[in-house]
Every structure is written in C-alpha cells, then in structure tokens.
C-alpha cells in the first residue's frame, strides 16, 4: 500500500526482505503473488470490471507493481495491462533485468508478447495461483525482437545510448529518414 500511496508502484528490496522475514517465507514467488493480489484493488477497469494486479521482481530485488487501467467507452485494446504497467515501472526505475512476474490471472496473449520484447524473455518466470512457468512455455514458437535486431540493439530494460540532447542518434536518424524530425547535428 505504501508504494501505491507514494505513487511509485515500487517496493524496495529492503521492504521485500523485511516482508519475507515477517511472513516467515522463503518462497519468493508466493510473496510476489501476494503483492500482485494486494495491488489489484487499485485497478481501474470500468469496461471489463476485471481487476488485475502484477508484481515483477528485478535482479535488484526490487518489486515493480502494475494494475490494469481501462478508459471508459474506449475499446479494451487501448487499455494498459497490469503486466505492461509493471514492466514500464521497472524500466522507469532503471531495472536491468526481471527474474519473475506474478499476476492475479494468466497473462493474455498481448501481455505475453509484450513480455517477449525483453532480451531474456524466454527465462522470465510467470507466476499465477495455479502455476509457475517460464514465458517460453506460455508463448511457444515466439517471434520477437531477437528475430529482427542485431545482438547489440537495446531493448526494454536496457540502457540506450543517447547524445547530449537526450536523443538516441539511431532513432533520430530513422525519424529524419521518415520526415518526422530534423537530422541530428554533429555539433
């Protein structure tokens, strides 16, 4: 609740460790699921009325929370899914890699593909009340960024190289080629 009250949706590793000790549990996945279940009450699903919570554990030990956010009278494909919310929160907080993500219900196909955009996606452990499986088992024969990009390309949760203006020169060049922005300067 404190992470939501602060607006950060981040549970620091020190709080995660304290909570594990207080609950006398060594099962990190079960604790992750408890966090997901707890945060689900903050979901905003005016259309589906289906409250989803997600909790993703990074290699830092921090846990990143997410909920589904729907916009009334707008198709559900324009909503923010809990898994997306959690991954973007991890990215915004400079997390480099996720070990596991727990959700109150099985991730939909859209979320499975979204998670597949991470470099180490096949090994990401997905946890629900009923099962624990690596993402590769939930999304067999997946097509993702590794099928398209060179190994050196940055993906979600990876640091992009940016110039002094904060712009990634590769993206700036692509934008220029497509007529959307002036070319990057070499000044």
Please give the positions annotated as active site: 83
Contacts of 173 (CB under 8 A, 6+ apart): 183, 184
Across 16-168, the runs of DSSP E, i.e. the strands, are 53-58, 63-67, 98-103, 125-127, 132-134
The C-alpha atoms of residue 23 and residue 2 are separated, in whole angstroms, by 17
The rounded distance, in Å, linking the Cα atoms of 85 and 67 is 6
Q: SS3 of 172, please?
A: helix
A 10 A CB-CB count for 173 gives 14
Other beta carbons less than 10 A from residue 110's beta carbon: 14
Phi, psi torsion values for 58, nearest 5 degrees: -90, 165
């Amino acid at each position: 609740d404190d992470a939501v009250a602060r607006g950060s949706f981040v549970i620091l590793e020190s709080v995660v460790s304290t909570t594990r000790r207080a609950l006398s549990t060594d099962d990190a996945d079960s604790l992750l699921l408890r966090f997901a279940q707890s945060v689900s009450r903050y979901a905003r699903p005016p259309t589906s009325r289906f409250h989803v919570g997600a909790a993703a554990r990074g290699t830092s030990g921090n846990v990143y929370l997410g909920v589904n956010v729907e916009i009334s009278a707008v198709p559900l494909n324009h909503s923010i899914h809990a898994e997306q919310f959690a991954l973007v929160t991890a990215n915004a907080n400079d997390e480099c890699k996720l070990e596991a993500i727990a959700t109150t219900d099985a991730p939909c196909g859209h979320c499975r593909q979204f998670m597949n955009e991470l470099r180490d996606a096949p090994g990401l452990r997905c946890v629900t009340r009923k099962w624990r499986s690596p993402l590769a088992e939930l999304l067999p024969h997946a097509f993702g960024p590794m099928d398209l990009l060179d190994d050196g390309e940055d993906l979600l949760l990876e640091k992009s190289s940016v110039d002094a203006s904060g712009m990634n020169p590769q993206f700036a060049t692509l934008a220029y080629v497509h007529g959307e922005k002036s070319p990057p300067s070499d000044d």
